[in-house]
Amino acid sequence: MIEPVAALPLIYHCDSLPELKVGEGLCLIRHFEHSLLGNMLRQQAQCWLRQVLSRCLSVTDAQFTLARTPQGKPWLPDFPWLRFNLSHSGTSAAIVLCRGVNVGVDLERISGKVEVKKAIACRFFHPDEQRWLAEDEAHYLLRFTRLWSVKEAWLKARGTGLTQSLAGFCAIPQHKGIAQVFDHNEEEIGLLHHRLIENDGVYCLAYGACSPLKDLSIRWQVYVHQAVS
């Protein structure tokens, strides 16, 4: 049975970004006009990211530079304490922010053909993940999309992107919006959060932090962007 789409508890207005405290993470979600697709949405999402970073840093857009690591992860050379990540899909986007801890986010609209997803899972996913997907054939597409978003959010938090093998770690989504990440030795190496959101369809959202300190726990709050009327 498909779980209900989770209600998002908090709303922030575009001129009042929530405070980013030490030990906390912010996940911001924004729904764009349905007419924005492809490169137009990408440009709008990047513009939104710069607006969010500007407000978080209390500087103008011209006072910070976005750079990328050799693996492609964006960062701020002049403000390295602020860690962030962006994802967009369909007509929605998500940003995560945290102080001093690497973070990742992935947003995926549920779409596509089951047979194509099965071929991808068979070729690239961890064996335990393949077995988990096969447990519920009726909702395979939902499960695949959720798993994919969790795995990609972890890779983005690590900063490796798809240069790291998808089969080299296991991150099966569990109930209550949690996905534990295990390495090839079955040792837990991380924790991610996941949920469903609704816009012009159902989206799978996954986000979390990656820290060498296993005892470091980030408390997350999720907000929806709303323009000032």
Q: What average pLDDT does range 183-212 have in this prediction?
A: 90
Kindly state whether residue 3 falls inside one of the protein's structural domains: no
**The whole model's pTM is what?**
0.92
Q: What average pLDDT does range 160-180 have in this prediction?
A: 87
> Contact 80/93 with Cβ under 8 angstroms?
no
Question: Does residue 214 register a pLDDT over 60?
Answer: no
Q: Output 96 or 162, whichever has higher pLDDT.
A: 96
Kindly state whether residue 2 falls inside one of the protein's structural domains: no
Dihedrals phi, psi of 69, to nearest 5 degrees: -70, 170
Give the position of tokens 């690497």. Answer: 102
Q: What average pLDDT does range 165-191 have in this prediction?
A: 90
Kindly state whether residue 1 falls inside one of the protein's structural domains: no
Kindly state whether residue 203 falls inside one of the protein's structural domains: yes
Q: How far is CA 42 from CA 32, 37, 45, 86, 152, in A?
A: 11, 8, 5, 10, 18
Closest Cα to residue 154, out of 204, 108, 104? 104
pLDDT digits (tens, 9 = 90+) for 64-90: 999 999 888 999 999 999 999 999 999
Question: Does residue 33 register a pLDDT over 90?
Answer: no
pLDDT digits (tens, 9 = 90+) for 147-156: 999 999 999 9
Kindly state whether residue 39 falls inside one of the protein's structural domains: yes
Which of the residue ranges 9-18, 145-154, 156-165 would you say has the lowest mean pLDDT? 9-18
Kindly state whether residue 41 falls inside one of the protein's structural domains: yes
Dihedrals phi, psi of 215, to nearest 5 degrees: -85, -5
Greatest mean pLDDT among 80-89, 163-172, 173-182: 80-89
> Contact 202/5 with Cβ under 8 angstroms?
yes
Q: Work out the number of other CB atoms within 10 angstroms of the CB of residue 115.
A: 9
Mean pLDDT for all residues in the chain: 89
Q: Which domain holds residue 164?
A: 10-226
Q: Long-range contacts: 80-86, Cβ < 8 Å, 24+? A: 82/20, 82/53, 82/56, 82/57, 84/49, 84/52, 84/53, 85/156, 85/157, 86/45, 86/46, 86/49
Question: Does residue 1 register a pLDDT over 50?
Answer: no
Instruction: Give residue 211's pLDDT.
Output: 73
Instruction: Give residue 200's pLDDT.
Output: 86
Instruction: Give residue 163's pLDDT.
Output: 72
Question: Does residue 4 register a pLDDT over 50?
Answer: no
Half-sphere exposure of 178 (CA within 13 A, CB side): 6
pLDDT digits (tens, 9 = 90+) for 34-67: 776 678 888 999 999 999 999 999 999 999 999 9
- The rounded percent of the chain whose pLDDT value lies above 70 is 92
Look up residue 229 and give its two tokens.
């009327």
Question: Does residue 2 register a pLDDT over 60?
Answer: no
Kindly state whether residue 19 falls inside one of the protein's structural domains: yes
How many distinct structural domains can be found in the chain? 1
> What CATH number is associated with residue 75?
3.90.470.20
Kindly state whether residue 5 falls inside one of the protein's structural domains: no
